[in-house]
Structure 1
Amino acid sequence: MRADDINDIIRATNLYARGLDLGDPEEAASAFTADAVWDATAVGLERYEGHAAILAFFVADAAAVERGAHILSNHLIDFDDDDHAHGTNYVYAECEMRNGGAIKAIALNRDSYERGADGWKISARVISPMLTPQMDAFEV
């Protein structure tokens, strides 16, 4: 049933955000497939390929962020077939950094999703700014 698939995909995106916000890189990375891509070059960060590289970035992020919040909304999901989908969602993120700085970004996540044995996961996330991001204090 597509409604269940949509809920499972949104749950994966929310696990990502909650993991980042609670400083739990394992939970954040659990939203991604083994061969996933996470690309935030458009907001001044890096591109990471593969679960291990994404997890390593989330570990470094957790060490650098004192407090943060990622608010996701406006999910639109289209299905390519029974096990593949793509979509978008908006993210509003603010973080207080351990170095005393703060960051703020309002962006569009362009995602691809895959269903595997352990459910729906993000196979690619490309983050594009909707407003000029304030990322000067981000040192990861």
Structure 2
Amino acid sequence: MNRTAASDVEQIRRLVADLAWYIDTGDTEAGLALFTSDALLDASTAGGGLISGPQGLRAFMEGTYTRAPSRLHVVSNHVVDVEEEGDRAAGRLVGLAYTKNPDGVSALVGIAYEDHYERDTDGWKIARRVVTPMVVPER
């Protein structure tokens, strides 16, 4: 891996870590800034459907804050492949999401993420994310 690709990988890993932080702290504006303007979030296997664009992402994030006012994401095992041209990349990672709903019921869910990233004038952004639950708590 050349020096540029290594730097790109680190920037993308930071992007993903920042997104988890902004979701957990309820910073919608900072979280939205990490997505391309035409981003697609596919949370259909997690019950969230297909979410696209800034308005859809905003509604999804704010709905998350209502459904789970207490939350913590931990992301790991992030593998990133930068395309040769250097402005697109793909990644996969896993995460754990601990949530507590307004009634005090908590859950720990294992999640897999498949991402596509694009670089624009502001740096790397998430263009597409597929969210798949891996380990779901019993109800």
Larger displacement relative to structure 2 (32-41 or 56-65): 56-65
Structure 2 residue 99 is the aligned partner of structure 1 residue 98:
no
RMSD: 1.6
Give 1:117's match in structure 2, choosing from 94, 105, 121: 121
Structure 1 outlier segments of 4+, above 6 Å? none
Structure 2 residue 45 is the aligned partner of structure 1 residue 42:
yes
Structure 2 residue 131 is the aligned partner of structure 1 residue 127:
yes
SS of match in other structure, 1:98: coil
Deviations 1:53-99 (A, max 9, x none): 11221122223322111000011011223100001011110111123
Given that residues 8 and 82 in structure 2 are in contact (C-alpha distance below 8 angstroms), is that contact kept between their aligned partners in structure 1?
Answer: no
- Match in the other structure for 1:86: 90
**Displacement of 1:44:** 2.1
Q: Distance in 1 between matches of 2:137 and 2:27?
A: 23
Count of residues in correspondence between the two structures: 135
Q: TM-score, normalised by structure 2?
A: 0.88
**Displacement of 1:27:** 2.0
5 Å-filtered alignment, 1:7-46, equals 7-46=10-49
Larger radius of gyration: 2
Aligned partner letter, 1:46: G
Q: Distance in 2 between matches of 1:26 and 1:103?
A: 26
**Displacement of 1:47:** 1.6
- Match in the other structure for 1:54: 57
Which structure 2 segments of 5+ residues have no match? none
**Displacement of 1:35:** 0.5
Which structure 1 segments of 5+ residues have no match? none
**CA 134–31 in structure 1, closer or farther in 2 if over 3 Å, else same:** farther
Q: TM-score, normalised by structure 1?
A: 0.88
**Displacement of 1:31:** 1.6
**Displacement of 1:135:** 9.0
SS of match in other structure, 2:69: strand
